[in-house]
Structure 1
């Protein structure tokens, strides 16, 4: 073993922290640019920034590891070096505003050096170095607004703080819409009881929207207070909605949406505030929603270990039809599924293992528009063997032996994806008897397919078993092994012939798709086929798909609102309900 001095350990510790801080600044520059991209309606640049920000982490990590190899040979030093290195690093994190993210970056360095074969809290941060106390930096991330005056005065105060460098399309109309909406949501007694409105200082940008996210504070209750903003083609600002229900906020922070751009130096405090608004969201989900997906993975793993300690159920194969490409299992008491690429695919799947990984990377880098589940990749993930039945172990060894390593106490999965658990749509439709819920699910299925396509992704295998449905009744796609960009497919009409074998003798390439056949395989039962065709007839029209393909080819970016259409101020539903002319300039209401 090479003899290492304390000064070398301190140098390496400082090098890792420098690497983290360089990455955080890079992350921050991209995030900070979101407001200008929003104001200038630079939607292609917005899309590129999302991909660039995701890629920064691995680039920074690679740079740091390469520099470490210039100082030491990591595999020629003993474990004592790594224990002392961690202690030196902890010393550097005192009073660091992003210490929790810096710990994850350190873990990533150790993981990269030892190819994720070392899992030891003495060498890395399996547990955080200290407990975070929420609220100690609350004033650095939250603005508070006086509510002793009129609602209108408070709204004016808000927009004096949250400034945009473009004009409102109709500022008077928007202030009045907000005033009316808040008064419609709160009773007179509630309005009188409001003592504070708090809004997070960072503006949350995603796709073509921006959100001011906060809460209305009353003695007996707290409600979300979210102002949603859009930019018109003429680069004028529009207040699109006021959201005050936790359901709406939960959907905005949904796991099938792209990460926010929200510029803050205190992510832990922002997450703590959001957790108070969304108590059903886990910490790791909120970190991920802010784009800190690597730290989200760390927090997930800690949460998962804690859950294992407090539960005793067994891992088992996930409900639903067995996949041709992925082996999927779950822990019934926990809200995720574990997906492992199988060693071999049937002849019908003319793809490779690397192709499957590329598809998952494509989804990670794409706008998931609320319709594609986020996935998180892990290597050498360790599970307690006594919690896995021998039947499940035998099944995994049969189909994915190259990804499984067994020890006396553990099942080590060399590569897998973790994804939010949902009810498979085929099982939901088999079990559901309420006609309205069935119709909603089929309508959601059609919308899901269409919105994915408009986001420039062709879903490929659209069998309804490859979709899940959330507790909110939203249909989400989760099987990515056959996805591709829209440009990579040719949408064709079926031949007009009485010959049932006409398609067999046509010249058909692997890129050809015949939408007229979709009605026969997306859903199985005759009545469900008829319902899908009734609700979404254009899904079976090649011309419809070519039109979407053409728009995607121009780089057009679509915006899909995460809240109901009826919540939008300029919608017909909202205008009729509140007797509002959405185009009119309305008088100020200071009552």
Structure 2
């Protein structure tokens, strides 16, 4: 039975209302970020991040339940679904979040058909329109005339972004901002700047607020980020000004939590951000704003486009084979694909559901720039002729329950997609520059410390479970043994002349002996010695217990997305 057109139209209307309700909920949480920041409600901020991520699935479930109350989806023919998409599309004319609404519609269809119907006539596999940047630029940008003095322009910017708390020393902040600009740029460069454009929404994350914009001149525009923080008396101060594209790229990195930036025009905000960071892809920027579901949609479109313009084959990813995940990649594309194996060795006392729970924990947690974001897909389709025979054999051997084959496709029922990095063990084997090796080992220690300070114990800290980015930053990406810090007991090794004392020690399932870390984090002796010299605390049980106490007390350490040396209080400490 095919429903009449008015009922199809009403159903399309219900789906759009479901999306709009979800977006309003999302916007309320995002819009409250300023109040949480001003009141230093850091724990509430973390809870808001989790709640905002959970909104989407809840809203989706509500809409799908409404549909099932009105019809049985599998009794409708294809013409019905074509009509539904047509009616839905008509409602999106001039809709400020049309691209997000398309993704929500896709999610509804995906939920109804368990992601087994990937058909552009039924859903928006391809976007309905090409968005042209600048259409509503005036709704997302504040523009400032910069032809007067630097000081006057800075004062106007500060006035345009009011907070309900006082600055600790606004005069000092203005002096430091001006001094930085005069030191970083020549008088000729500064004289050519005629205007400044700043996104209207303030970007909130963790304990900081960011103003993001660019200085416009007759030549290239200069991107910048002004970082604001609170002191111990809850007074506002400018922590730094970042003006290098590299710094912006790190700020929007894939290992960081999503921003809270309240806007009704996400497409325009993303378009502006990409003008500042042309090396960032659209899907990365949508994800950084918390629109991770739409980011997945845009990624998939980008992926399909890349497949159509390449001819290399999917193959096993370089590095040591994992015990829990089968990992593969397309050499010409910048992600890896991770599939949970059917069976784990005895040493891995975990289940498939526990592995999925660990990946979800990381998704919801503050990743502090040290844990790669992952994106979960079901029924992900690969062209069979692009999958190397060796990889297909491996997947069928170790993850057969997740694989479905057709004549033309390899369908993976469940997988994770993650940004591609160089595995740290491979990097350390291939790198010959002693300074780069030392930097990587130092950053490895910092990575472990910062993850712990964020209330996560990494578990398996073998260096093969870490990657290094093109910026030289070490990132953790193997989550099957992670847990909260309070879930582990950090113990001292017994002091004894008996070489077998450790064998007779009563060891519980949650016991950890940090003094043993030096033997397995990195392999070669000279690397072990360097890591221990750089971060001796990692091998001390007292250090780990102190982190547990800090976390238990609610103390959240600052993990800045830029070097300590770039903070104004360090740069201008003599002022």
TM-score, length basis structure 2: 0.99
- Distance in 1 separating the partners of 2:356 and 2:2: 41
The structural deviation recorded for 1:556 is 1.8
- Distance in 2 separating the partners of 1:335 and 1:369: 22
Instruction: Report the counterpart of residue 375 of structure 1 in structure 2.
Output: 374
Q: Is the 8 A contact 2:2 2:77 kept in 1?
A: no
Instruction: Report the counterpart of residue 394 of structure 2 in structure 1.
Output: 395
The structural deviation recorded for 1:506 is 1.2
Instruction: Report the counterpart of residue 68 of structure 2 in structure 1.
Output: 69
Q: Is the 8 A contact 2:2 2:80 kept in 1?
A: no
Instruction: Report the counterpart of residue 80 of structure 2 in structure 1.
Output: 81
Structure-to-structure mapping, 1:388-537, within 5 angstroms: 388-537=387-536
Q: Secondary structure at the match of 1:493?
A: coil
Structure-to-structure mapping, 1:304-319, within 5 angstroms: 304-319=303-318
Q: Is the 8 A contact 2:224 2:248 kept in 1?
A: no
- Distance in 2 separating the partners of 1:176 and 1:35: 25
Instruction: Report the counterpart of residue 125 of structure 1 in structure 2.
Output: 124
Structure-to-structure mapping, 1:573-588, within 5 angstroms: 574-575=571-572, 580-581=574-575
- Distance in 1 separating the partners of 2:231 and 2:58: 36
| Residues 301-330 of structure 1, C-alpha deviations (whole Å, 9 max, x = no match) | 000000000011111100000000000000
Instruction: Report the counterpart of residue 265 of structure 2 in structure 1.
Output: 266
Q: Is the 8 A contact 1:259 1:291 kept in 2?
A: yes
Over the residues paired in the alignment, what is the CA RMSD in angstroms?
A: 0.7
Instruction: Report the counterpart of residue 59 of structure 1 in structure 2.
Output: 58
Instruction: Report the counterpart of residue 550 of structure 1 in structure 2.
Output: 549
Q: Secondary structure at the match of 1:224?
A: strand
- Distance in 1 separating the partners of 2:400 and 2:545: 42
- Distance in 2 separating the partners of 1:51 and 1:389: 39
Q: Secondary structure at the match of 2:321?
A: coil
Q: Secondary structure at the match of 1:195?
A: strand
Q: Secondary structure at the match of 1:570?
A: helix
The structural deviation recorded for 1:3 is 3.1
- Distance in 2 separating the partners of 1:411 and 1:367: 34
Q: Secondary structure at the match of 1:155?
A: helix
- Distance in 2 separating the partners of 1:210 and 1:29: 18
The structural deviation recorded for 1:76 is 1.1
The structural deviation recorded for 1:233 is 2.3
Instruction: Report the counterpart of residue 588 of structure 1 in structure 2.
Output: none
Instruction: Report the counterpart of residue 558 of structure 2 in structure 1.
Output: 559
- Distance in 2 separating the partners of 1:183 and 1:104: 46
Structure-to-structure mapping, 1:243-254, within 5 angstroms: 243-254=242-253
- Distance in 1 separating the partners of 2:166 and 2:433: 48
Structure-to-structure mapping, 1:35-434, within 5 angstroms: 35-434=34-433
Q: Is the 8 A contact 1:41 1:233 kept in 2?
A: no
Higher mean C-alpha deviation, range 148-157 or range 290-299: 148-157
The structural deviation recorded for 1:390 is 1.1
Q: Is the 8 A contact 1:326 1:341 kept in 2?
A: yes
Q: Secondary structure at the match of 1:436?
A: helix
- Distance in 1 separating the partners of 2:379 and 2:53: 22
Instruction: Report the counterpart of residue 585 of structure 1 in structure 2.
Output: none
Q: Is the 8 A contact 2:323 2:344 kept in 1?
A: yes
Q: Secondary structure at the match of 2:480?
A: coil
| Residues 208-253 of structure 1, C-alpha deviations (whole Å, 9 max, x = no match) | 0010000011111111121000012211001000110000000000
- Distance in 1 separating the partners of 2:56 and 2:243: 35
- Distance in 2 separating the partners of 1:185 and 1:270: 27
TM-score, length basis structure 1: 0.97
Q: Is the 8 A contact 1:327 1:399 kept in 2?
A: yes
Q: Is the 8 A contact 2:19 2:101 kept in 1?
A: yes
The structural deviation recorded for 1:555 is 2.1
The structural deviation recorded for 1:132 is 0.4
Q: Is the 8 A contact 2:441 2:530 kept in 1?
A: yes
Instruction: Report the counterpart of residue 584 of structure 1 in structure 2.
Output: none
How many pairs does the alignment contain? Answer: 575
| Residues 369-417 of structure 1, C-alpha deviations (whole Å, 9 max, x = no match) | 0000000000000000000111110000000000000100000000000
The structural deviation recorded for 1:11 is 1.0
Q: Secondary structure at the match of 2:572?
A: helix
Q: Secondary structure at the match of 2:197?
A: strand
| Residues 140-197 of structure 1, C-alpha deviations (whole Å, 9 max, x = no match) | 1001111111111001100111011100111110010001111111111111100111
- Distance in 2 separating the partners of 1:263 and 1:168: 23
- Distance in 2 separating the partners of 1:17 and 1:397: 40
Q: Secondary structure at the match of 1:264?
A: coil
Aligned pair 1:22/2:21, yes or no? Answer: yes
User: Segments of 4+ in structure 1 off by > 4 A?
Assistant: none
Q: Secondary structure at the match of 1:234?
A: coil
- Distance in 1 separating the partners of 2:558 and 2:295: 26
Q: Secondary structure at the match of 2:234?
A: coil
Aligned pair 1:539/2:538, yes or no? Answer: yes
Point out where structure 2 has 5 or more consecutive residues left out of the alignment. none
The structural deviation recorded for 1:71 is 1.2
Q: Is the 8 A contact 1:50 1:365 kept in 2?
A: yes
- Distance in 1 separating the partners of 2:464 and 2:221: 39
Point out where structure 1 has 5 or more consecutive residues left out of the alignment. 582-591
Q: Is the 8 A contact 1:495 1:502 kept in 2?
A: yes
The structural deviation recorded for 1:568 is 0.4
- Distance in 1 separating the partners of 2:556 and 2:384: 47
| Residues 336-359 of structure 1, C-alpha deviations (whole Å, 9 max, x = no match) | 000000000000000000000000
The structural deviation recorded for 1:575 is 2.2
The structural deviation recorded for 1:103 is 0.1
| Residues 508-559 of structure 1, C-alpha deviations (whole Å, 9 max, x = no match) | 1110000000000000000000000000000000000000011111222222
* Bigger relative CO (Cα 8 Å, ≥ 6 apart): 1
The structural deviation recorded for 1:464 is 0.1
| Residues 455-490 of structure 1, C-alpha deviations (whole Å, 9 max, x = no match) | 000000000000000011000000000000001000
- Distance in 1 separating the partners of 2:451 and 2:485: 10
